[in-house]
Amino acid sequence: MAHSILLVFERPDTGRPVEDERQWQGCAMNMGNIARQSRDIEILGENVLLLSLQTDLKGVVDVVSNSLGLKYRYAIFDQEIEWHKTAI
């Protein structure tokens, strides 16, 4: 079974219609609200979410249903991600 999914949403180009930017802003705000209410979703950046598949899939369903119309890429991880820190 998969452990987690990394979602990276593509922001609309700055030369695109204003409607695309409005849709992006609305979806980003909704996804941020969903992520803050779920312990299974980690916000890694403005357009990057890490969704755990270890418990409830409600957060995944909520994020995907609120991102309709947005382009995104994803990576599926079979095991827990091992994060490494760089030395400063």
Query: Would the pTM count as exceeding 0.85?
Result: no
What is the pLDDT at residue 66? 72
Express each pLDDT in 26-53 by its tens digit.
777 877 788 888 888 888 888 888 988 8
Over residues 13-31, the pLDDT tens digits come to: 766 666 777 777 777 787 7
Sheet strands side by side (includes 72-77):
41-45, 48-52, 4-9, 72-77
CA 2 to chain centre: 16
Helices (H), the chain: 18-37, 58-66
pLDDT at 14: 66
User: What does the pLDDT read at residue 39?
Assistant: 82
**Per-residue pLDDT at 75:** 92
Domains and CATH numbers, the chain: 4-77 (3.30.70)
